[in-house]
Amino acid sequence: MNDTSPTIKQELNYYELYLLDYLRQHKFPQQYDHGLVHTRAEEAAETYEQERRNGHPTDQAQELAVSALTRGLHHSQYDILLGVIDTEFENIIPPLLHEQLAESLLPFMGKVFSIYNLSDDDFALSDGYQNLHDELTGAVALYLRQHGIQ
């Protein structure tokens, strides 16, 4: 049988496994980009080795390697949308349904997210973060109203 589907058949290293878990947990679309995962894992391993050669302790070298691994991946659309639902709609939507609602709405929020640079590691500290939060709050409220939930 000749299976050409993109699967991970080779042995994954620590950084690849770490990044895959991170991307899946936070529902980043990059979780399906095996090239990105492999490249980032190689960069992280090189960072770790370089930092150890520079005399940094193991834990500091590991911290810098993980920072290189997750650079630009600190703000997932899913997490931001879930945060909006958790804070702004906690009295309307039962907490057990927050994750389900976020997953359902995420594909429809692309336009809202498209004007913000979530890859900026300092995005949460910017005015844009509050603007995005406000826009998502309005979009979720509109969706709930249109579907007779609010």
List CB contacts of 146: < 8 A, sequence separation 6 or more. Answer: none
Residues 93/101, Cβ–Cβ less than 8 Å: yes
Q: Which pLDDT score is estimated for 144? A: 93
Distance between CA atoms of residues 34 and 77, nearest Å:
20
Residue 133 has a pLDDT of 97
CA 10, 14, 15, 20 dihedral sign is positive
Please name each of the domains of the chain with its CATH number: 14-69 (1.10.8), 77-146 (1.10.8.340)
CA 86/CA 92 separation, integer angstroms: 10
Q: Note the pLDDT of residue 149.
A: 80
> What is d(CA 129, CA 135) in angstroms, rounded to the nearest whole number?
10
pLDDT score recorded for residue 10: 52
Q: How many CB atoms lie within 10 A of CB 18?
A: 19
List all residues 6 or more positions away from 33 whose beta carbon is below 8 Å from its beta carbon: none
Say what the pTM is.
0.81
Residue 121: what pLDDT?
Answer: 87
The residues of the chain scoring below 50 in pLDDT are 1-9
What pLDDT sits at residue 97?
94
